[in-house]
C-alpha cells in the first residue's frame, strides 16, 4: 500500500476505507461508535478497573483451572466518565485466547483492561489449552466447559449480567473460531461475537496442514495427528457438530425465521497467513446474508495487530446505553 495510505492507516483511518459494506448493521457497526469515544475523553487513561486472577475447579474438565477477570469499579473517575456508576450486573466480554496461549495472554500482550474501561465492560478470560474450544474426540470436553460451565461459574463469583444484550464474545486466531462457535451454539445468549485473525475456514486449514504433513514437514505431521485427537476423522470434518459453515447456515435459517441472531465482526491483517481464510468466511457470510462487519488492515498474525484491533472490536460492540 502507498505511504500515503500507510499514514492514513496509522491514523486508524483505513479500517473505514477498507471496510466492506455488507448490511445496514455493517455500516452501523463501523459508524455507530465514532473512533475516540469522545464522550468519555475525561476518563481516558485514568483507569479504575479491578484485575483478578482466579483459580477454580471445573467439574466438567475434572481439573483445576485458571481465568483472569477485569471488573469495573464504582469510582469518581468512572462516574465522571459515564455520568454514573458502572451498570450492575456488569455487561461482559468473554475473551478467548489463541492456540499457544493461556488465560493470561490478553492481559499480558495488550492493554485490554484500559480498553474495556472505555465501555464499562467486565472481561472474563478463560483458558482451554489447545482444544479449539470444542469437545475433544480423544480428550476433555472443552466445548461443554466453555459454553455451559464457565458462564455458570463466572456468574456465581461475579455480578455479571445474564441478559443477552449484555453478553459479548471475542477471540483471536483459534479463539476467533471459538468466539463464533460460542455465539452460534447459543445465539439466544449473545448480542455479538467478534473474531480477530480467526481460523474461519477450518476445512482449508486442515487441508493445508495435511498437505504440509504429506510433504514431510514434521511439525505439520504432529499437528495433523493432534487435530485428529481433537476433531476426530479429518476427512469428515463437515460432519463435526462444531463445523463453522454448518453453524453459520443455521444462523441464516434463524434469521429467516425471525429469530435473534448475534451480530458478527471479523477482522484480519492483510499479511496474516489466515487472510485468505477470512475472505472465504466473509464470502460465505455475504451469501448467507449474515450480519457480519468485516474489516481488514495491514498487519500479521501477532500481538501488534491484536493490541490495535481489540480496541476496534470493543468500539464496535453494540452495547446499550453504555
Positions 280 through 299 that interact with a copy of itself (CB under 8 A): 298
Residues 297-316 that bind a copy of itself (CB under 8 A): 298, 300-307
Q: Which of 32, 46, 250, 254 binds a copy of itself (CB under 8 A)?
A: 46
- Work out whether 80 is an interface residue with a copy of itself (CB under 8 A): no
CA 128, 183, 124, 40: dihedral to nearest 10 degrees?
150
Alpha carbon distance 52, 69 (integer Å): 5
Cβ proximity of 268 and 193 under 8 Å? no
Which cell numbers hold the place of 127? Answer: 483458558
Min dist. Cβ of residue 20 to a copy of itself (A): 15
Instruction: Please report where in the chains the cell 463435526 appears, as a residue.
Output: 240
Minimum CB distance to a copy of itself smaller for 10 or for 239: 10
Q: What would the DSSP string read from start to end of 20-60? A: ---SHHHHHHHHSS-TT-GGGGGGTT---EEEEEEEEEETT
6: Cβ contacts below 8 Å, ≥ 6 apart: 298
Residue of 27, 31, 83, 159 interacting with a copy of itself (CB under 8 A): 159
CB of 91 to a copy of itself, least distance (A): 15
- Report whether 264 contacts 179 (CB < 8 A): no
Q: Kindly tell me which residue out of 127, 196, 248, 274 binds a copy of itself, with binding defined by CB under 8 A.
A: 127
Cβ at position 77, least distance to a copy of itself in Å = 9
What's the closest the beta carbon of residue 45 comes to a copy of itself, in angstroms? 2
d(CA 314, CA 170): 9
> 86 near 72, Cβ under 8 Å?
yes
Spatial separation of the C-alpha atoms in residues 156 and 270, rounded to whole Å: 41
Q: How far is the CB of 254 from a copy of itself (least distance, A)?
A: 31
| Interface with a copy of itself, residue 220, by CB under 8 A | no
Q: Which of 24, 34, 64, 258 binds a copy of itself (CB under 8 A)?
A: 64
The alpha carbon of residue 4 and the mean position of all alpha carbons in its chain are separated, in whole angstroms, by 31
For the segment 7-26, give every residue that binds a copy of itself (CB under 8 A). 7-14, 17-18
User: By CB under 8 A, what part of segment 189-208 binds a copy of itself?
Assistant: none
Q: Is 139 in the site for a copy of itself (CB under 8 A)?
A: yes
Q: Does 236 bind a copy of itself (CB under 8 A)?
A: no
Report if residue 156 touches a copy of itself, rule: CB under 8 A: yes
The SS3 call for residue 56 is strand
Based on CB atoms, which residue is closest to a copy of itself, 28 or 139? Answer: 139
65 lines the binding site for a copy of itself (CB under 8 A): yes
What residues form DSSP beta bridges with 66? 55
Amino acid at each position: 500500500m502507498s505511504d500515503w495510505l500507510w499514514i492514513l492507516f496509522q491514523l486508524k483511518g483505513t479500517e473505514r476505507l477498507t471496510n466492506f459494506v455488507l448490511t445496514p448493521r455493517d455500516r452501523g457497526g463501523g459508524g455507530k461508535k465514532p473512533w475516540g469515544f469522545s464522550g468519555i475523553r475525561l476518563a481516558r487513561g485514568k483507569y479504575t478497573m479491578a484485575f483478578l486472577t482466579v483459580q477454580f475447579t471445573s467439574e466438567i474438565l475434572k481439573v483445576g483451572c485458571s481465568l483472569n477477570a477485569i471488573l469495573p469499579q464504582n469510582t469518581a473517575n468512572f462516574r465522571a466518565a459515564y455520568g454514573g456508576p458502572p451498570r450492575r450486573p456488569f455487561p461482559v466480554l468473554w475473551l478467548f485466547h489463541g492456540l499457544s496461549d493461556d488465560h493470561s495472554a490478553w492481559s499480558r500482550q495488550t492493554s485490554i483492561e484500559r480498553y474495556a474501561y472505555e465501555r464499562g465492560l467486565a472481561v472474563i478470560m478463560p483458558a482451554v489449552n489447545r482444544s479449539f474450544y470444542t469437545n475433544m474426540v480423544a480428550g476433555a470436553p472443552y466445548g461443554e466447559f466453555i459454553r455451559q460451565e464457565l458462564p455458570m461459574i463466572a456468574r456465581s463469583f461475579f455480578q455479571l449480567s445474564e441478559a443477552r444484550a449484555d453478553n459479548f464474545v471475542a477471540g483471536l486466531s483459534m479463539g476467533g473460531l471459538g468466539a463464533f462457535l460460542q455465539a452460534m451454539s447459543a445465539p439466544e445468549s449473545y448480542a455479538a461475537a467478534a473474531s480477530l485473525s480467526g481460523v474461519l475456514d477450518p476445512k482449508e486449514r486442515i487441508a493445508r496442514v495435511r498437505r504440509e504433513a504429506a510433504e514431510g514437514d514434521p511439525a505439520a505431521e504432529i499437528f495433523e495427528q493432534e487435530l485428529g485427537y481433537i476433531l476426530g476423522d479429518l476427512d469428515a470434518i463437515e460432519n463435526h457438530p462444531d463445523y463453522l459453515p454448518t453453524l453459520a447456515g443455521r444462523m441464516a435459517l434463524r434469521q429467516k425465521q425471525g429469530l435473534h441472531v448475534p451480530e458478527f465482526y471479523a477482522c484480519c491483517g492483510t499479511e496474516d497467513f489466515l487472510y485468505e481464510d477470512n475472505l472465504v468466511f466473509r464470502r460465505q457470510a455475504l451469501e448467507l446474508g449474515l450480519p457480519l462487519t468485516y474489516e481488514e488492515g495491514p498487519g500479521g498474525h501477532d500481538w501488534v495487530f491484536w493490541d490495535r484491533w481489540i480496541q476496534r472490536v470493543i468500539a464496535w460492540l453494540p452495547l446499550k446505553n453504555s
